[in-house]
Each structure stands twice: as C-alpha cells, then as structure tokens.
Amino acid sequence: MASVPSVSFASPCRQAAERRLTFAGPALRGFRFEAPKSDAKKLEEWARAQTANSLIEFSTREGEVETILKDISERALSKGNFSYSRFFAIGLFRLLELANATEPTVLEKLCAALNINKRSVDRDLDVYRNLLSKLVQAKELLKEYVDREKKKREERSGSQKANEAITKCTGDFRSVTFKL
C-alpha cells in the first residue's frame, strides 16, 4: 500500500498572516480587541449629545472625550505623535453628522480647534463622497442586473413550460391511431 504524503491545506496567504501575527504577537500583548468598538460607541453617544457650538468648544469643557480631543489638538499642533489620515476626516464628518451640525462653517471651526489642515480634510471628504456615490451606483447596477436576470429566467421558464405543453399535446396526437 502506498503512503500518502503529508500535505498542508493552509493557503500561502494564511501562512503569511500567521507569520505576521507571530511577529506582531509581542506588540499585541495586552491589547483589548473589544476596546475600539467600545471607544467608538462612547464617542457616538457623546457626539449625539452635542450641538454645533458645544462640539467646537470642546477645549473649554471637562470630560473623557473632551480630554482626548484636547490631546489630539495638542499633538497635531506640535506635529508630534499625531498621524492624520482619511479615516480621521471621515470620523470628523461622522461627529458633525451625529451632532446635527449642518453648517459648512462648523467643519472649518472644528478643524481649527483640532489644529488640523482643513484643505486635507476637504480633499479627503471629497474622495469619500465620490466613493459613496460610486457605491450607490454600483448597488443600483447590481439591482438592475439581478432584476434583468430574474426576468430572463422567468421568460425561459415560461417558454420551457409552453414547449412542454406543446410536446405533451403533440405527443398525445401522435399516440392516437386512426382506423379506417
């Protein structure tokens, strides 16, 4: 009897991910994976309780979120340990959305309060809006495609049933014998 060679069914991508996790393991010790979700929930609850003015004037008040925003503002001002990203701009937009701050000047004032470059935020929000509109268009195209395919399937099913009925009818006529 021939022996079966040992084969690993793990994909190369999975193996690479495991190597990265092994490498990053020491850095992730003590990291609470549920923390980002709970932090986001706290921030959303805080933003819902804010007005446009109170959102901008975070530096004059005390609180957990206010302290974090003050820290971000200080780090952004000193160009120290702060790294701006598109996700930060989207987060600012979400804060404004949750606080029902619809005036365009509110974003400008919030960027100034956080010491963030408004031009970068505007550029990143434009990219975000364009991506959202493309996603909406893609969703509509997909819906149209699914509807078209469903209609084609129904037409094929209907024509197949008609063919079966014709075959059944013609089959009955062929089985009938006439005696003269």
Print pLDDT tens along the chain (180 aa): 444 443 444 455 566 655 555 555 555 566 667 777 888 888 899 899 988 888 888 888 898 888 888 988 888 888 777 888 899 999 999 999 999 988 889 999 999 999 999 999 999 999 999 999 999 999 999 999 999 999 988 888 777 777 777 777 666 555 555 565
In a domain? residue 80: yes
In a domain? residue 19: no
User: How far is the first Cα of the chain from the last one, in angstroms, to the nearest whole number?
Assistant: 73
The boundaries of the domain holding residue 67 are: 37-131
In a domain? residue 7: no
In a domain? residue 159: no
Predicted pLDDT at 81: 78
In a domain? residue 8: no
Contacts of 86 (CB under 8 A, 6+ apart): 124, 127, 128
In a domain? residue 52: yes
In a domain? residue 82: yes
Q: Do residues 58 and 65 lie in contact, with contact meaning Cβ atoms separated by under 8 Å?
A: yes
Q: Which structure tokens are listed for 85?
A: 């990203």
Residue 162 and residue 157: Cα distance in Å, rounded? Answer: 9
In a domain? residue 46: yes
Predicted pLDDT at 13: 59
Q: Which structure tokens are listed for 55?
A: 């959102």
What is the tally of structural domains in the chain? 1
Element (H, E) at 158: helix 118-175
